[in-house]
Amino acid sequence: MATSSEDMNKKLTFRRFKDGYNKWDAWTDKIFKEDSSYKCPTYVHRTPPCQGSCPSGEDIRGWLDIVRGIEKPPAGVDWHEYAFRRSTDANPFPAIMGRVCPAPCQDGCNRNEVEDFVGINSIEQFIGDTALANNYTFEKPGTESGKKVAIIGGGPAGLAGAYQLRRKGHAVTLFDDHEELGGFMRYGIPSYRTPRDVLDGEIKRILDMGVEVRTSTRVGKDVSVEELEKEYDAILWCVGTHSGRLVPIEGADAPNSISGIAFLAAFNEGRLQAVSGKVIVIGGGDTSIDVASVARRLGAIKNINEKDRPENVIMGHTAHDAASIAAREGADVTLTSLFPVENMTAAEHEVRDAIHEGVKIKGSVMPLEAIKGEDGRIKAVKFAECEMVDNRPTPKEGTEFELECDLLVSAIGQSGNLEGFEELDNGHGFIDADRNYQVPGKPGHFVAGDIVRPHLLTTAIGQASVAVESIDHYLKTGDTDAVKRPKVDVHHFNLLNKLRESGHAPAPYSHEQVRGTSDADFAVHNFEDRSANEIIKATQLFLGHFEYTPRHKRKEIPVDPENIIGSYRERMEGLSEEEAQAEANRCMSCGMCFECDNCVIFCPQEAVKRTPKDQATTGRYVYTDYTRCIGCHICADVCPTGYIDMGMGE
């Protein structure tokens, strides 16, 4: 049947060839050469780009293969729990990260070359929600090391550090100057994005591993750094960046000019329950979207008392009560960005939701001046359209305009509050780190999270994992020269561990000299692990294997502008088990066999065979009989995942 024009315009699966490759070669000249070809297949494990793009280095392909049923759990373990264990090896917050992570893994997904990325964060949310529903816990360490580590800051980096340190048997005390743990996950992200029961559940799992907690305790004030150095064997600084910056324009020092960090903290602490008049948010990132969306949900008080002005509440001078917010109405909220709306750094769906909820967004504009009234408060902000010249915003002449303003919120960056431990300050409100997240020149001091460089939650979690490796090395050896990190620094699938887990560990090696090991049971044959050095590209896959399959998306629950005030329910509904498995099945398992049988079916010599079921496991599904292989390379050509290389014999 002829292909319709509609289907021809879709981004369907096909094998990409170079220009000029429009004629078939004479296969008989290249393939059927009896045994004169010197190359035979070998099985090569590489890191998939989703995992290579994940700042916390999760074994994404691994837990997707578990959800879809490719990788089997050990006897007596349910696949739901097995997927949870694999996921949390790198990141202990699957339910939270599945909701709020902007998912750079999805940008890197090779499935984008077929039709659309795999919905990785939606499956991660399913894993996390299932774990909470089933009360999965983290195991306490079998043995204690006798070493004690102080962690300063109970946000994503500090909690992830506590989790990884307890897994290694080190005692941990968490210090945090807030009443509750969670850091930016609790005080910087609104509850409709990080539901508090979900956050509390994922934090509790970590604390139940035996973590001591000292909240409402400020290091440098309530306890000195010198005291910590005497009592603990190492210190991990994860203090975050809870000091926001104001927009650097004339007039921005007015009382009704505040930072996005302070705004969100006041809201999440329950003090701020309304705004006033017209709100202008300057930013373009996720924090600015959160501020604008929260302002719309809070609503505005038209005739406001001085004590109820948002800036007074945010700065801690007063707090809203039920009577003061009774007369709320829709807030007029405008968000501005130096970049075009489509190029803003905020997640695309967050921008889309904010616009739907009534936030006005102006792109490619820059603030020039905050205009004050007689009372010293900002009454308007002057803007101009702008363009980037030498990577700096430059106003366009003659495009100036003013926007009325009752509250100016700057969400343009943040820094840390290092009062009490200023010796760690690098001069810019941050703490320096080497590549192993040690504080240079301070043996026993380590650092992770936004205080190194503000970025994603998953970045902070990944940094904490590396820092813990460095701490563990330091505690065991006293050596500040940490072990060299791999080129592709993620949590890798380990075939040898999988063989042991499935009861197929190689036999002990007697170390006697032998010729050839193809039949020996003490060696793992025709397998090469390049995952620590290589990320597999889409050009190494056989994309023609994959059919056009639409993504299974989470159901969005939009909030209409007229119903926005006081609406704090989640915007998305998680996938069902069937949907999660179907979406996981779209994973192309890049760099690892997913048992499609193509190599077995298409081998003309029947040289590629399935490993007997009683010997098979993930990564050991097929093997090659080299007495039959003629080096025709068909198996490598039809391997969808790029797992087969014609490398044996090179």
**Which residues are CB-contacts of 429 (< 8 A; sequence separation ≥ 6)?**
241, 243, 415, 416, 417, 418
Q: Where in the chain is the domain with CATH 3.50.50.60?
A: 148-242+416-477, 245-413
**Rounded mean pLDDT, 62-67:** 97
**Rounded mean pLDDT, 484-508:** 91
How many CB atoms are closer than 10 A to CB 256?
A: 24
More confident residue, 279 or 313: 279
**Rounded mean pLDDT, 532-560:** 94
More confident residue, 481 or 32: 481
For residue 20, what pLDDT is reported?
Answer: 58
**Rounded mean pLDDT, 623-632:** 88
Torsion from C-alpha of 26, 27, 33, 36, nearest 10 degrees? 100
Longest CA–CA span in the chain (Å) reads 94
Cβ–Cβ < 8 Å for 282, 408: yes
Q: State whether residue 581 is helix, strand or coil.
A: helix
For residue 443, what pLDDT is reported?
Answer: 95
Q: Which residue has the tokens 């960090």?
A: 261
pLDDT over 80 at 304, yes or no: no
pLDDT over 60 at 159, yes or no: yes
Eight-state DSSP code of residue 88: T
Tell me the CATH number for domain 245-413: 3.50.50.60
pLDDT over 80 at 367, yes or no: yes
**Rounded mean pLDDT, 157-166:** 98
Q: Which CATH class is domain 148-242+416-477?
A: alpha beta
Q: Could you tell me what percentage of the chain is helix, strand and coil, using 3-state DSSP and rounding each to the nearest 5?
A: 30, 15, 55
**Which residues are CB-contacts of 211 (< 8 A; sequence separation ≥ 6)?**
162, 166, 172, 173, 174
CA distance 252 to 644: 60
Tokens of 345: 């750094």
Q: How far is CA 278 from CA 275, 401, 406, 408, 592, in A?
A: 8, 16, 5, 9, 54
- 375-395: pLDDT as tens digits: 999 999 999 999 999 889 999
Tokens of 18: 């170079």
- Element (DSSP H or E) covering residue 196: helix 196-207
For residue 144, what pLDDT is reported?
Answer: 96
- 318-338: pLDDT as tens digits: 666 654 555 578 899 999 999
- 238-260: pLDDT as tens digits: 999 999 999 999 999 999 999 99
Residue 372 one-letter amino acid:
K
Poorest-confidence range of 190-204, 296-310, 396-410, 601-615? 296-310
- 4-61: pLDDT as tens digits: 445 545 555 444 455 555 565 665 555 544 445 567 899 999 999 999 999 999 999 9
- Element (DSSP H or E) covering residue 470: helix 457-477
Poorest-confidence range of 28-37, 95-104, 438-447, 462-471? 28-37
More confident residue, 191 or 3: 191
**Rounded mean pLDDT, 389-405:** 94
For residue 509, what pLDDT is reported?
Answer: 87
| Beta-strand pair 257-259/407-410 | parallel
Among residues of the chain, what percentage have pLDDT more than 90? Answer: 77
Q: How far is CA 464 from CA 108, 370, 444, in A?
A: 23, 40, 15
Poorest-confidence range of 329-343, 388-402, 429-443, 516-530? 516-530
pTM for the complete prediction?
A: 0.90
**Rounded mean pLDDT, 144-158:** 97
**Rounded mean pLDDT, 448-462:** 96
Q: State whether residue 112 is helix, strand or coil.
A: helix
CA distance 254 to 370: 9
Poorest-confidence range of 181-185, 323-327, 336-340, 445-449? 323-327
- 110-149: pLDDT as tens digits: 999 999 999 999 999 999 999 999 999 999 999 999 999 9
**Rounded mean pLDDT, 214-242:** 97
